[in-house]
Amino acid sequence: MRQETSMMENIQVTLAKGPVVQPRRPIKMRSEKVTVHYGTKQALYDIDLDVEENQVTALIGPSGCGKSTFLRCLNRMNDTIDIAKVGGKITLDGEDVYDPAIDVVELRARVGMVFQKPNPFPKSIFDNVAYGPKIHGLASTKAELEEIVVTSLRKAGLYEEVKDRLAEPGTGLSGGQQQRLCIARAIAVSPEVILMDEPCSALDPIATAKVEELIDELKQNYTIVIVTHSMQQAARVSQRTAMFHLGYLVEVGPTEKMFSNPDDKRTQDYITGRFG
């Protein structure tokens, strides 16, 4: 009970530092009655969720509730899983992302993804970031490409640490630096939305703090959806929180409200550590 109270106190302290009034923003992505089946097993039921522009939306809920499955619906990463079948509708700026006319490679440049475990390519730091802009034809000269790489590394808060070793392998960086390199790689193709699937779960507290600071800065230019198991992290970085349970979206709302006065008992139980 004491542990529960102190977790709530921590979250309250974190929230107390954040902005209090959260005006609603334009809707960047909208999910309507989204379902996912893996074979015969249903993983998501009728998910209606609006993702607001230039905000961080946190997806929380106990293990196996469908957070990652939902995240992967947003840029059609579930297409890569043979047995996954997605129903319902998802739009990006009002455009149906499951429309057969949509170029999925293009979609994934607009809706980028950062994974749980940093996964730099076995290439140099420079090439890791340059790869996307090259295949998408975003630079017509070497100088333009260099400019994109440097700007992306700066935006990811990594440039100062790596500027003297851009030709060295990305895999030689620390875990936290590798994760920021992966964020730079996502940024390099000028995405509009960045999906993050537990981006700090493999990082130590200092590297986690750096990535969290970065997420806070990135929301000025990008819309971010993050899956996290850490209630403190959700409270620190997000403006909106969506609570999933057993494949259902239990509730979604301003993070402050979700952690201080949730509507649903399951949210209350989860954030106070009663299950999960």
Ligand X SMILES: Nc1ncnc2c1ncn2[C@@H]1O[C@H](COP(=O)(O)OP(=O)(O)OP(=O)(O)O)[C@@H](O)[C@H]1O
Binding site for ligand X (CB under 6 A): 38, 43, 61, 63-69, 81, 83
Identify which of residues 36 and 189 has a Cβ nearer to ligand X in the complex. 36
Min CB(67)–ligand X separation in Å: 4
At position 255, the amino acid (one-letter code) is T
Min CB(197)–ligand X separation in Å: 8
CA-CA distances (angstroms) from residue 128 to 6, 122, 181, 257?
42, 8, 8, 40
Identify which of residues 67 and 180 has a Cβ nearer to ligand X in the complex. 67
Min CB(52)–ligand X separation in Å: 21
Min CB(229)–ligand X separation in Å: 6
Identify which of residues 68 and 241 has a Cβ nearer to ligand X in the complex. 68
Min CB(189)–ligand X separation in Å: 25
Identify which of residues 162 and 271 has a Cβ nearer to ligand X in the complex. 271
Q: At a CB cut-off of 8 Å and minimum separation 6, what does 97 contact?
A: 74, 75, 76, 90, 91, 107, 111
Do 180 and 156 contact (CB within 8 A), yes or no?
A: yes
Strands 27-38 and 84-92: antiparallel
**Other C-beta atoms lying within 10 Å of the C-beta of residue 47:** 23
**Other C-beta atoms lying within 10 Å of the C-beta of residue 14:** 18
CA-CA distances (angstroms) from residue 101 to 51, 107, 170?
23, 11, 35
Identify which of residues 101 and 275 has a Cβ nearer to ligand X in the complex. 275
